[in-house]
Amino acid sequence: MNDILITLYCPPTSKTYDFWAAKNMTAKDALIKFSDAICEYEGKPDVFSDKETLILCSYMTKKALVPDETLESAGIKSGDKLALL
């Protein structure tokens, strides 16, 4: 299976969301996908004041993901929890 299920915590909305993402997706592409989907789902295009400053962090390692690294190479597995900060 090439996709992984990620639980994402988003402080601006105080909610968690579940997302499917390809293992070979970069953290930057995942961040864009997740933030766009949250804005659309919430019906608020301004949920994030500046998408360029957002980062994805792993709850497991407590570290930010490197933007050009794939989710798989960052050690992200199905069921992992990330935060969008």
pTM score: 0.90
Quick: pLDDT tens for 29-80: 999 999 999 999 999 988 887 888 899 999 989 999 999 999 999 999 999 9
Domain spans, the chain: 3-84
84: pLDDT confidence band, cut at 50, 70 and 90? very high
Supply the CATH classification number for the domain 3-84.
3.10.20.90
Any alpha helices (H) in 1-85, and if so which ranges?
A: 27-42
Quick: pLDDT tens for 5-23: 999 999 999 999 999 999 9
Instruction: Give the three-class secondary structure for 51.
Output: helix
CA separation for the pair 46, 69 (Å, rounded): 27
The terminus-to-terminus CA distance of the chain in angstroms comes to 28
Q: Are 49 and 5 in contact (CB under 8 A)?
A: no
Q: How far is CA 12 from the centre of its chain?
A: 13
What is the per-residue pLDDT for 46? 87
